[in-house]
Amino acid sequence: MHRRRNKTVTSIALAALALAAATAAQTPLTDAEPARPRVAEELRIGDAMVGNEVDEAADKVTLGEYLEAVNIVELVIDKIERRSSRYDIELAKPLVVLGDALVGVGDHPGAFGAYDRALHITRVNQGLHDPSQVDIVYREAALHAANGDAERANKRHEYAYNLLLRAFGSNDPALLPGLFALADWYLTNYNIFSARALYRHAVYVANKSDNDDEVATIRALRGIAASYLSERFPPYHEPQTQSSASSGPYTSRTRTIGSINSFSRGERALIEVVRVVNAQADATNEDRAAAILELGDWFLMFEKHERAMTLYRRTWELLSANEPLLAETFQSPTPLYLPLPPGPEKSRKATGGPRNGVIELSLRIDEQGAVSEIDMLRSVPKDLMDTEVRRAVRRARYRPAFDGQVPRATEGVLVSHPFIYFATDETADPDGAVAEGRDQANANRTPVDAIAQARGHP
């Protein structure tokens, strides 16, 4: 067990980075994860030249030079196979990089093939349940999500978590990256009760740690608050999948009176975030402002306007010496909840493939962050989604703009909502471009974004 604990755990962020060209991130990360070695760093590189070439290819993937990366790693793979065998552990890293590069060029079947082979080689050499494979499994999960197959993505996320649970047990801090990865996935797919149970357990594990992991504690508390926010302010559309059962020992709570207590329980979680941040000796004014801003946004979402404004004024004071961040936070209205609808379902009368539609609106945001006026600027195709989008936008919540420490109304706040539709004789638009993908690729905001937005993430 000691040897196993010293092995690689996972790198959630790396999987998201590798798939950035194909899909928006699927997890609402609320803080940087504890530094963990990556599976690629654990794999043996017997030839220094080969290792350098693979690193060069990985750098090219990061830069978007996917074809060059493919050419490099294919030569490396051939070199290793000629020198050793098709099951040499040294093949795992270039195969992962090959999969990343193929994602970049849009060859998802090829990427799955590369990841699957890397996974098989890792299992042959390291063991069927070795945790070093989870980095590859997360890549597969993200790619399934990018393809719109949330059910398979869900299974891969749960499989990765169970590998870590098997390796480390339920109370080991080494499990925290897996807890956060699965909880974030559940939350973005509106499996909020399973997500909340995992975040709560993460708080317990982080507080139980010998090092008293404050970063993990803060992240878990923010996740708890986000789960209550998502419960009270659900996304416009129903989730694509629900987990049939939560993983490990953290069973999902049944839906009882959770929504009744969502305000006070989420409030307590964010108050605890403020307390933990304020207690940190190395916390900056920006750190304290971010925590207080989150709590202010929480009050605004639940229409506790006076309490929200008090916290916004305190945030302003803390950021007064940082003019760029102050302007970014308060100069313009910030959307906290904007539940825009997905595109319409494909009609039996559809006469062609998917096409791009768009609705552009101009809003007036009042002093309390509510939408008070809506002007339609553009609708393509006309009248297809107008009513639904207007209805959704009226439910939006914004953090208002401020003059000094005084909130003000703002005219001309622009909202652009692209969507995918299938043209019929009634909706065909001669100017509509052919769409490149289905509308699950659209980056529609969900309630989860309120927590991330409060911390300055786009």
- pLDDT single digits (tens) 363-400: 999 999 999 999 999 999 999 999 999 999 999 999 99
Least confident among 3-17, 39-53, 158-172, 186-200: 3-17
Least confident among 37-41, 75-79, 432-436: 37-41
CB atoms within 10 A of CB 210: 6
DSSP string covering 47-101? -HHHHHHHHHHHHHHHTT-HHHHHHHHHHHHHHHHHHS-TT-GGGHHHHHHHHHH
| pLDDT over 90 (residue 252) | no
- pLDDT single digits (tens) 348-364: 777 778 889 999 999 99
Distance CA 339, CA 28 (A): 16
- pLDDT single digits (tens) 147-188: 999 999 999 999 999 999 999 999 999 999 999 999 999 999
CATH 1.25.40.10 holds for 1-148: yes
| pLDDT over 60 (residue 17) | no
Question: Which CATH homologous superfamily contains domain 336-446?
Answer: TonB (3.30.2420.10)
**What residue segments make up the domains of the chain, in order of their start?**
1-148, 336-446
pLDDT at 213: 84
Asked whether the beta carbons of 114 and 152 are under 8 A apart, the reply is no
Q: For the residues 47-57, what does the mean pLDDT come to?
A: 79
Give the model's confidence band at 339: pLDDT under 50 very low, under 70 low, under 90 confident, else very high. very high
- Give the chain's end-to-end CA distance (angstroms, integer): 41
pLDDT at 182: 98
Give the model's confidence band at 427: pLDDT under 50 very low, under 70 low, under 90 confident, else very high. low
Measured in degrees and rounded to the nearest 5, phi and psi for residue 60 equal -70, -35
Q: Is the peptide bond before 407 cis (omega within 30 degrees of 0)?
A: no
Distance CA 62, CA 229 (A): 34
Most confident listed range (161-165, 253-257, 423-427): 161-165
The token duo for 319 is 């950021």
383: left (phi over 0), alpha (psi -120 to 50) or beta: left
Asked whether the beta carbons of 52 and 211 are under 8 A apart, the reply is no
| pLDDT over 50 (residue 257) | no
